[in-house]
Amino acid sequence: MTYVIAQPCIDVKDKACIEECPVDCIYEGPRKMYIQPDECVDCGACEPVCPVEAVFYQDDLPADWADYLGVERDFFATVGAPGGASSQPPLETDHPAVAGEPQRTASS
């Protein structure tokens, strides 16, 4: 089980969540943050602090964003489990599903 960061984070990335994560498993992509599902310990600390309510327990993902569980899983299938985001540079590419989303502007 894991928590998942869904669509509302795209182009927002205020990173309130990473301050809370006790195991440093929230990684930064160019447009979105990503939770490493094998490193997440399900503590739920990231969920309430997100200002745009982008974080969900996997079973509570709204139907519209149900794909984001797969997005995070696929994303880390290539990245692996680095064992801590703060010792890593931000990741260079987003998952294609995220990269393909329209750019969010201040008003949208």
Partner 1 sequence: MPGDPLPLVPWAGTRQSATEFKSDQEVRWCPGCGDYAVLAAVQGFLPELGLARENIVFVSGIGCSSRFPYYMNTYGMHSIHGRAPAIATGLATSRTDLSVWVVTGDGDALSIGGNHLIHALRRNVNLKILLFNNRIYGLTKGQYSPTSETGKITRSTPMGSLETPFNPASLAIGAEATFIARTLDSDRHHLVDVLRQAAVHQGTALVEIYQNCNIFNDGAFAVLKDKRSAQEAVIRLEHGKPIRFGHAGGKGVIRDTATGRLRVVPVTAGNEADVLVHDAHETDPGTAFALSRLADPHTLHHTPIGVLRQVERPDYDTQMAGQLDAAVERDGKGDLAALLAGTDTWTVKE
Site residues for ligand SF4 per CB under 6 A: 3, 5, 9, 12-17, 20-21, 23, 25-26, 33, 35, 40-46, 50, 52, 54-55
Residue 5, binding choice from partner 1, ligand SF4, none, Cβ under 5 to 8 Å by partner class: ligand SF4
Are 37 and 72 a contacting pair, CB within 8 Å? yes
27's enclosing H/E stretch is strand 26-28
Q: Could you say which residues in the range 39-78 bind partner 1, by CB under 8 A?
A: 39, 41-45, 47-48
- CA-based nearest residue to 91, from 8, 13, 3, 4: 13
Partners of 34 in the β-ladder: 27
Residue 50, binding choice from partner 1, ligand SF4, none, Cβ under 5 to 8 Å by partner class: ligand SF4
